[in-house]
Amino acid sequence: MSLKKSELTDKNLYELTFDVDKATFDAAIDRVYKRMVKKITIPGFRKGKAPKSIVEKMYGKGVFYEDAINEVLPTAYADAAKESGLEIVSQPEFDVDTIDDNGVVFKAKVYVKPEVSIKDYAGIAAERTVVEITDKDVDDEIAKVQSRNSRMVEITDRAAQNDDIVNIDFEGFVDDTPFDGGKAEGHELKLGSGQFIPGFEDQIVSHNIGDEFDVNVTFPTEYHAEALAGKEAVFKVKLNGIKFNELPALDDDFVRDVSEFDTLDEYKADIKAKLTEKATKEADNAVEDALLNALIEKLEADIPEAMFAAETENYVRDYDNRLRMQGMDLSLYFQYTGLDLDKLREQLRPQAEKQVKVRLALEKIAALENLAVADDEIEEEYKRIADAYNMEIDRVKGMIETDALKADLLVKKASDFVKEKAVITDIAPKAE
């Protein structure tokens, strides 16, 4: 099995011509014959005992060719692709060129990585938004924790007020006539939430349990029910109950209940540190994204469609794997969302295109800057992956080829190089 010719036939498209010698192909035919003869009946022979020459005479010399080709082709192509030295980025399209006394000659059309050029990648300007965490930010975060640890309390000794949750019966009338959808019993409403028509909730405030009263409102002129838009209405309301979401006291006892800290000051300092870390990470990620987008703009390459299609399929497989980790799969996901495979591909395609372009740009930068990965860096990365997934390092090495890991590390080094050379200006957040 050998590569006979590698020919560029179109932009980024090569045709590989390779062969399988007669002895190898005949051996494959013999193996296929031995598997299939058990199911073949030839007059004059017991089932499964007909000689190969008799079977070929009856059904044609090529009766076993297709299965034999399927047996030898994968290895033959893999050897030819390696021998060609090409960076193939697509699945091959095969043709059988000849089958004769010399064996089989195949042709395979494949797309390769395009020639890439990129300039001015060092010193890219970018802005980083620096967010200062304020005491209000910290207080807001603590308020969320208080809300999660609150308890609902029945109120019996005072009138309703904003932020209470009231239970009411009501019926609405326009021109003394009740209207559809204007009646309910035992409805729970948080006062001040703005769920009802403007003015409705305000008129419940200061009433006590058991009170029956009128609420006078005017429907907005752009109300969704046209028959009520702009109309004055009266709601007959009865207040059945009042509840209040009571927050825990903000003190050291609360802090000890919800965290590993002993004092409120320690807790606030930790929250501020975490919010600062989060804001910094978000700012850095935004800068990195801006730099990558700039690289895409500077990239010059005629990228084969096959690369975009292949990366889109990678994204689809990754999406399916993540769904399976959540106890779902694509089939069930499509039922819930109304999507199908083509629509999912359409959604994921922009991300896939960006990934292809960014990687091509970074690979070129790594080559231009003569970046290299040392053996100890590869070993360290294997260990990091093994630790992250709690696996034996030898198992990781069996799953990830060294060349693939080295290529990924080179891309990361190129990304770090672009970030180190970038001219980054810190700015304050823009006023909303």
Mean pLDDT of 153-182: 92
Instruction: Mark whether 414 and 301 lie in a shared domain.
Output: yes
Query: Is-contact 349 339, C-beta < 8 A?
Result: no
User: What CATH number does residue 172 fall under?
Assistant: 3.10.50.40
Residue at 140 is within a domain: no
CATH number at residue 15: 3.30.70.1050
Identify whether residues 278 and 368 lie together within a single domain.
Answer: yes
Q: Within a domain: residue 292? A: yes
Q: Report d(CA 121, CA 365) in Å as an integer.
A: 8
The CA angle 63-65-68, to the nearest 5 degrees, is 125
Distinct helix (H) and strand (E) counts, the chain = 12, 13
DSSP summary character for residue 61: G
Give the integer Cα–Cα distance in Å for 211 and 192: 19
Same domain, 312 and 408: yes
Residue 352: C-alpha distances to residues 304, 333, 345 (Å): 13, 21, 9
Structure tokens at 191: 């006062």
Does residue 311 form part of some domain? yes
Query: How far apart, in whole angstroms, are the C-alpha atoms of residue 414 and residue 329?
Result: 36
Find, among 130, 89, 106, the residue nearest to 19 by Cα. Answer: 106
Closest to 112 (Cα-Cα) out of 252, 15, 187: 15
Same domain, 14 and 72: yes
Same domain (yes/no): 104, 156: no
**Is the pLDDT reported for residue 246 higher than 70?**
yes
Look-up of token digits 């372009």: 357
- The token duo for 244 is 């209040």
Strands 116-118 vs 125-129: parallel, antiparallel or unpaired: unpaired
* Mean pLDDT of the residues in the chain: 93
Both 407 and 341 in one domain: the answer is yes
Report the amino acid identity of residue 136.
K
pTM passes above 0.95: no
Asked whether residue 382 is domain-assigned, the answer is yes
In this structure, is residue 144 part of a structural domain? no
**pLDDT tens for each residue of 29-51:** 999 988 988 888 888 888 888 88
Residue 117 resides in a domain? no
pLDDT at 102: 87
Predicted local distance difference test score (pLDDT) of residue 225: 82
CB 372 within 8 A of CB 378: no
Residues 277 and 418 in one domain: yes
Grade residue 432 by pLDDT with cuts at 50, 70 and 90.
Answer: low
pLDDT tens digits, 388-423: 989 999 999 999 999 999 999 999 999 999 999 999
Among 187, 213, 246, the domain-final residue is 246
For residues 24 and 69, is the Cβ–Cβ distance under 8 A?
Answer: no
Task: For residue 210, tell me if it sits in a domain.
Answer: yes
Determine the structural domain holding residue 211 and report its residue range: 151-246
The dihedral through the CA atoms of 177, 180, 184, 188 has a sign that is: negative
Q: Taking the CB of residue 122, how many other CB atoms lie within 10 A of it?
A: 14
CA neighbor of 53 nearest in space, from 21, 80, 26, 18: 26
Query: Residue 102: inside a domain, yes or no?
Result: yes
For residues 91 and 155, membership in a common domain is answered with no
Taking 70 as the threshold, does the pLDDT of residue 1 lie above it? no
385 HSE (CA, 13 A, CB side): 18
The answer to whether residues 41 and 10 belong to one domain is: yes
**Chosen domain end from 246, 279, 295:** 246
Mean pLDDT throughout 329-340?
89
Q: What are phi and psi of 18, to 5 degrees?
A: -145, 160
Whether 223 and 264 map to the same domain: the answer is: no
Helix (H, G, I), strand (E, B) or coil at 214: strand
Residues 315 and 418 in one domain: yes
Number of domains the chain is built from: 3
Structure tokens at 352: 């896939």
Report in angstroms the alpha-carbon separations of 211 from 159, 169, 170, 240: 10, 11, 12, 8
CATH of the domain at 265: 1.10.3120.10
Q: What token pair was written down for 229? A: 């838009």
- Residue-wise pLDDT for 268-308, tens only, equals 999 999 999 999 999 999 999 999 999 999 999 999 999 99
Residue that is last in its domain, among 196, 215, 246: 246
